[in-house]
Amino acid sequence: MRCLVLALVSAFAVAVPAGGVTTEGGRPPELRDVGFDQRLGERVPLDLVFRNETGETVALGALFGERPVVLVPAYYECPMLCPVTLTGLVSALRAVSFTVGKEFTVIVVSFSPRDTSALAAAKKASILGEYRRPDAATGWHFLTGDAPAVGRLMEAIGFRYAWDEGRQQFAHASGLVVLTPGGTLARYFYGVEFSPRDLRLALVEASQERIGSVVDQLLLFCFHYDPATGRYSRVALGAVRVGGALTLIALGAFVTVMWRREVRRGLTT
């Protein structure tokens, strides 16, 4: 399934000319090639090489292998949409009990060849200040790279963007992807605000059940990921089954307690 999710209206305003010139499909020319197409089940090329926020060369695969990964396409000189997207992610993650660097990893990859490691370092410092959790720095990675590596990765995750020469800015969509420890695309989330519950469920699933609790497993039974919306929706049958199971457990516990009381009364008479 291909899903095209465009940027916010405010971000569109950056790219749309004052005259409101559009294509036949009603979209401005600058946005014809902009979108976020789903590649669920496909693997990203882990052999790609980038530079981290300290300027060191790092293979993408070195950041995978142990934990699920939240990957965010963004560029560090973005004047509007990318900072809002990252702030939305941090806000959601602060409401999740899992901690970056312990249960999962976050990788922010700039798709702008103009971005530098210095800009990546400044962005990381800002985000860590918003996240407010000690010892999480090792789990956040802010990468830059050469155009071929960036292009391959963005193509692999289905992220399409375009450079607006007139305004010297990128036109792009907003969102993020959740990947398994092995680099397989598991979930897509669109927009600039993300549900903490949905992100947690996606991380539990992507971890191949290596993180999470019994409650998480019950929620996954009751909720189903909808690729069209990038959200988890309640599944009525699953909820009924879980409710029935919990009712049977409660009834069994009640019967057990009452039986034990009767046994004790019999022993004291």
Reply yes or no on domain 9-207 having CATH 3.40.50.1220. no
Q: Say what the pLDDT of residue 22 is.
A: 35
Question: What tens-digit pLDDT sequence spans the chain (269 residues)?
Answer: 333 333 333 333 333 333 333 334 555 666 778 999 999 999 999 999 999 999 999 999 999 999 999 999 999 999 999 999 999 999 999 999 999 999 999 999 999 999 999 999 999 999 999 999 989 999 999 999 999 999 999 999 999 999 988 888 999 999 999 999 999 999 999 999 999 999 999 999 999 877 877 776 677 678 878 888 888 887 744 444 444 444 555 555 666 666 667 666 666 66
Q: Say what the pLDDT of residue 263 is.
A: 61
Smallest CA-to-CA distance from 102 within 63, 67, 128 is with 67
Residue 158 CB burial class (10 angstroms; 0-12, 13-18, ≥19): buried
Structure token digits, residue 21: 């010139």
Residues 6+ apart with CB under 8 A from 43: 156, 182, 183, 184, 185
Quote the pTM value: 0.77
Could you give the CA distance from residue 18 to residue 232 in angstroms, rounded to a whole number? 38
Could you give the CA distance from residue 269 to residue 83 in angstroms, rounded to a whole number? 74
Q: Say what the pLDDT of residue 252 is.
A: 58
Q: Say what the pLDDT of residue 1 is.
A: 36
∠ Cα 249 250 255 (to 5°):
100
